Structure 1
């Protein structure tokens, strides 16, 4: 099955400028599987999403169908068919 991923401008160098990409994953995939498939298709992007411990970076927000995965199951969040994932860098300032 295919999962759509919205890529922020800062990471589009990995996707050859594409804002929206899709990756193929198993029917029972979770977000971690999507990140792995994304990195297989676009090498290096995983390191920009996950930290050295394999968790989502502190200043990166990931949404699965408009739900912030930090308040769901994190990388274990299910990604059923038709899922839309959005990677959004946190914006700070004052």
Structure 2
């Protein structure tokens, strides 16, 4: 299943400056693995050492936060859009 992935500015060094890239996978984890095969190192910026989503990174499939869906097992239907969004904090 081919999806488009919106890449935040901070991770564009991995994608050669591209803000949107294509990836394949039936689930979010498969998409992240495919991204890492195409753009080595990017998976490690989204997932922690245990393989879970980093707490300061939000990931959406369509308009839905994957933490409220099936997390890394969230389906990524063909043509869907995955957005990786770093959390913003401040005060």
Same fold (TM over 0.5): yes
2:41 to 39, 44, 53: 44
- TM-score, normalized by length of structure 1? 0.94
Q: Using structure 2 for the length normalisation, give the TM-score.
A: 0.97
1:3-59 CA deviation, whole Å, 9 max, x = no partner?
10000000000000000000133xxx1100000000000000000000000000000
Segments of 5+ residues of structure 2 without an aligned counterpart are none
Match of 1:91 in 2: 88
* Secondary structure at the counterpart of residue 78 of structure 1: coil
Kindly provide the CA deviation profile for residues 41-83 of structure 1, in whole angstroms up to 9, marking residues without a partner as x. Answer: 0000000000000000000000000100011100000001111
Equivalent residue pairs, number = 91
Pick the aligned partner of 1:71 from 54, 59, 68.
68
Q: Does 1:35 align with 2:20?
A: no
CA distance in 2, matches of 1:91, 1:38: 23
Q: Distance in 1 between matches of 2:84 and 2:68?
A: 15
SS at match of 2:44: helix
1:12-23 matches, within 5 Å, as 12-23=12-23
| Matches of 1:81 and 1:47, distance apart in 2 | 24
Q: Which runs of 5+ in 1 are unaligned?
A: none
Partner secondary structure for residue 52 of structure 1: coil
CA RMSD, aligned part only?
0.7
